[in-house]
């Protein structure tokens, strides 16, 4: 049997689905920025992003096997994931609000870089020269983009975006652990439910009467976010993470397009010099992890 034999493998379909999922997330980012500019508080955006997901997830569960599939034996692990997830979502949305879409998106690509660091520190994984070199190249790219002390983008926004990427990396380790026992739909459902419950008290303090346009923007944030979340998960049924993750970088194209069409903002010159380093770092990390995974498989099989 080959290393990657899988009767469900359909790599081209996986790439297409992942591409459409990333397009959904990119559109969500544009709608978040529009909602914030219209006066909607960031905590309210977070609340409705998750609230809209709940009926969609429940409906999907009812069609595919019933609510019993939401059962979990690890409520504490889901609670911790929810706390970290809310912090990450606030930082991620904050980055989109504070920065141009293309810059926020590019800095978000540092998540794999932080994942390497966290894997070395928390999971005690051995990290070789390839991945450490990618980490250094990625951070060099961020320095070029942010230009601390004299850049065209606010340093506060860059720091928030880096914080969001760090949280994404931390959450990915939690999800990897939860994925050993719970299906993706279970993880998504409990995160959405926990977010709604935890954010409701805050909503009581920040909510103000919303216009029809604002309600439509919040609905759009919830729908596009769920669309993206579902499709990137479905893509993994037909292809491995290492083969489809390259599509994630297409979000820079969408972000540039939306930034130009909706906000009349084009990326800074520094982005075009720094982004290739950040993207190359992420691709190198994904490639190297795939190589190491195959080596471990061969060693275990021999």
Does 1 map to a domain?
no
Does 4 map to a domain?
no
**Could you give phi then psi for residue 56, rounded to 5 degrees?**
-65, -40
Q: 99: number of CA atoms within 13 Å, CB side?
A: 35
Does 5 map to a domain?
no
Q: Which of 2-11, 108-117, 214-223 has the lowest mean pLDDT?
A: 2-11
Instruction: Give the closest residue to 225 by CA, choosing from 98, 69, 48, 44.
Output: 48
Cβ-Cβ contacts under 8 Å for 295 (sequence gap 6 or more): none
Does 3 map to a domain?
no
Does 28 map to a domain?
yes
Query: Cα 49–95–104 angle (5° rounding)?
Result: 110
Assess contact for 232 and 241: CB atoms under 8 A. no
Tell me which of 193 and 2 has the higher pLDDT: 193
19-57 residue pLDDT tens: 998 999 999 999 999 999 999 999 999 999 999 989 988
Assess contact for 105 and 274: CB atoms under 8 A. no
Tell me which of 180 and 77 has the higher pLDDT: 77
Q: How confident is the model at residue 65 (pLDDT cuts 50, 70, 90)?
A: confident
Assess contact for 273 and 137: CB atoms under 8 A. no
218-276 residue pLDDT tens: 999 999 998 888 788 777 677 666 567 777 888 999 999 999 999 998 888 888 888 89
Domain count within the chain? 1
Confirm whether pTM is higher than 0.95. no
Average pLDDT, the chain: 86
Q: How confident is the model at residue 151 (pLDDT cuts 50, 70, 90)?
A: low
SS3 labels along the chain: CCCCCCCCCCHHHHHHHHHHHHHHHHHHHHHHHHHHHCCCCHHHHHHHHHHHHHHHHHHHHHHHCCHHHHCCCCHHHHHHHHHHHHHHHHHHHHHHHHCCHHHHHHHHCCHHHHHHHHHHHHCCCCCCHHHHHHHHHHHHHHHHHHCCCCCCCCHHHHHHHHHHHHHHHHHHHHHHHHCCCCCHHHHHHHHHHHHHHHHHHHHHHHCCCCCHHHHHHHHHHHHHHHHHHHHHHHHHHHCCHHHHHHHHHHHHHHHHHHHHHCCCCCCCHHHHHHHHHHHHHHHHHHHHHHHHHHHHHHHHHC
Residue-range definition of the domain harbouring residue 147: 11-301
Residue carrying structure tokens 């059962």 = 71
pLDDT at 2: 39
Does 174 map to a domain?
yes
pLDDT at 262: 93
Q: How confident is the model at residue 99 (pLDDT cuts 50, 70, 90)?
A: very high
Query: Cα separation of 18 and 246, whole Å?
Result: 9
Does 141 map to a domain?
yes
> Is a pLDDT exceeding 50 seen at residue 105?
yes
Does 255 map to a domain?
yes
Token duo for residue 210: 């919303």
> Is a pLDDT exceeding 70 seen at residue 167?
yes
Assess contact for 110 and 285: CB atoms under 8 A. no
Token duo for residue 25: 């997330």
Tell me which of 31 and 294 has the higher pLDDT: 31
């Amino acid at each position: 049997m080959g290393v990657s034999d899988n009767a469900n493998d359909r790599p081209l379909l996986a790439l297409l689905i992942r591409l459409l999922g990333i397009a959904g997330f990119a559109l969500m980012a544009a709608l978040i920025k529009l909602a914030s500019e219209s006066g909607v508080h960031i905590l309210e955006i977070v609340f409705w992003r998750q609230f809209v997901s709940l009926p969609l997830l429940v409906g999907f569960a009812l069609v595919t096997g019933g609510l019993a599939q939401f059962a979990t034996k690890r409520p504490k692990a889901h609670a911790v994931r929810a706390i970290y997830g809310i912090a990450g979502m606030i930082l991620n949305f904050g980055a989109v609000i504070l920065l141009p879409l293309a810059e926020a998106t590019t800095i978000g690509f540092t998540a794999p870089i932080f994942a390497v660091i966290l894997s070395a520190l928390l999971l005690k994984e051995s990290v070789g020269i390839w991945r450490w070199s990618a980490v250094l190249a990625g951070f060099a790219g961020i320095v070029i983009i942010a230009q601390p002390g004299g850049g065209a983008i606010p340093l506060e926004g860059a720091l928030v975006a880096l914080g969001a990427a760090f949280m994404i990396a931390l959450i990915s380790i939690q999800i990897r652990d939860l994925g050993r026992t719970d299906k993706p739909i279970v993880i998504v459902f409990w995160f959405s439910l926990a977010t709604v419950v935890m954010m409701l008290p805050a909503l009581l303090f920040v909510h103000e009467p919303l216009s029809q346009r604002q309600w439509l923007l919040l609905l759009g944030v919830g729908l596009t976010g769920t669309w993206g979340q579902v499709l990137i998960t479905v893509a993994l049924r037909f292809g491995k993470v290492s083969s489809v993750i390259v599509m994630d970088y297409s979000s820079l194209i969408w972000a540039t397009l939306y930034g130009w069409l909706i906000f009349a903002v084009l990326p800074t010159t520094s982005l075009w010099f720094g982004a290739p380093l950040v993207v190359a770092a992420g691709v190198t990390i994904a490639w190297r992890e795939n190589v190491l995974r195959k080596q471990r498989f061969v060693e275990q099989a021999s």
